[in-house]
Amino acid sequence: MEELLSYILSVQTLVLVLVIFLLKSSIKFVPQNQAYVIERFGKYQSTKEAGLNFILPFIDRISADRSLKEQAVDVPEQSAITKDNISLHVDGVLYFRVLDPYKATYGVDDYVFAVTQLAQTTMRSELGKMELDKTFEERDVLNTNIVASINDAAGPWGIQVLRYEIKDIVPPQSVMEAMEAQMKAERVKRAQILESEGDRQAAINRAEGEKASVVLAAEADKEEQVLRAEGEAKAIVAVASAQAEALRQVGEAAATEEGQKAIQLDLASKAIEAKRAIAKESSVVLLPDGATEASAVVAQAMTIIQQMSKGS
């Protein structure tokens, strides 16, 4: 009896262990952003995504564990020839992810190796369409063309290439020396152009300054002449006004008896002075008849003044 109980206990324990093993084999927890490819009897059965999943023990098995995350693969350095027959050494980084685990498992043997080789061949092909200068200037265009070409070829593999970045483009040493010489010549050219522009601007500034100086000097001389002319005109007007005022006052004074006497005295004095001056200059003095005396001279002058007064 004890042997039977021991046998039954052993069987129960074995069954329990078997059940636990079967449950453990049938329950699969798939991590986030991963997928399990399940085969049944060696044939594709299903794709298990993140979460709790069940399979049949001893019948189903996990054929492949595919990561759905974005992956970065280093593309080894390789040689490429540009359109103008320049040999380059180029390397880069490829970013891609698995869209279809089934195609990534059964469409290609090793999708990482395949997409890396495809990136290399595509990069050589795209570089062969461009000249050396364009490879440096249009690197973004080159990257875009490489991504588009790889995606067209990698569609059956269930792979999507997100971007491709060229890390280094290394031309031959002779080409680098020529490029450095060209850049040096360009810098010298720009420096000479800037210097000539500076000289030209300086000459223009000097010419404009001289022109402005001449204009200012001419304007100053013009203003000086105008002011001088205005001053002379005012002086002439002032002198004429003074003379007119003097004549007016003389005329007013001459209309009186005292004025007549003063004029007679003044005329007599001037006549005497005139005869004295003539006598000094010449030993012979000619006098008109009746004009040997000062009174006669004064009388003649008064007669002339009276006639002028009547005529006015």
Write the pLDDT tens digit of every residue in 65-117: 899 999 999 988 888 888 888 888 888 899 999 999 999 999 888 989 999 99
CATH topology of domain 70-171: Tetrahydropterin Synthase; Chain A (3.30.479)
Percent of the chain whose pLDDT exceeds 90: 10
For residues 249-265, average pLDDT = 69
Q: How confident is the model at residue 271 (pLDDT cuts 50, 70, 90)?
A: low
Question: pTM score, two decimals?
Answer: 0.52
To the nearest 10 degrees (0 to 180), the angle between helices 257-281 and 173-254 is 110
For residues 224-244, average pLDDT = 84
pLDDT tens-digit profile of 17-42? 877 877 787 888 888 989 999 998 88
To the nearest 10 degrees (0 to 180), the angle between helices 111-127 and 139-154 is 140
How many angstroms separate the CA atoms of 84 and 78, rounded? 18
Query: Please, are residues 123 and 90 in contact by the beta-carbon 8 Å criterion?
Result: yes
Query: What integer best gives the mean pLDDT of the chain?
Result: 80
Q: Counting Cβ atoms within 10 Å, is residue 283 exposed (0-12), middle (13-18) or buried (19+)? A: exposed
Query: Please, are residues 296 and 290 in contact by the beta-carbon 8 Å criterion?
Result: yes
- Domain chopping of the chain, boundaries: 1-64, 70-171
In the prediction, which pLDDT does 291 show? 46
Tell me how far CA of residue 158 lies from CA of 41, 103, 155, in angstroms: 24, 5, 6
Query: Angle 266-270-274 (CA atoms, 0-180°, nearest 5)?
Result: 170
Measured in residues, the chain has a length of: 312
Query: Please, are residues 150 and 118 in contact by the beta-carbon 8 Å criterion?
Result: yes
In the prediction, which pLDDT does 259 show? 67
| Least confident stretch, 23-32, 130-139, 256-265 | 256-265
Tell me how far CA of residue 109 lies from CA of 102, 103, 106, in angstroms: 12, 10, 7
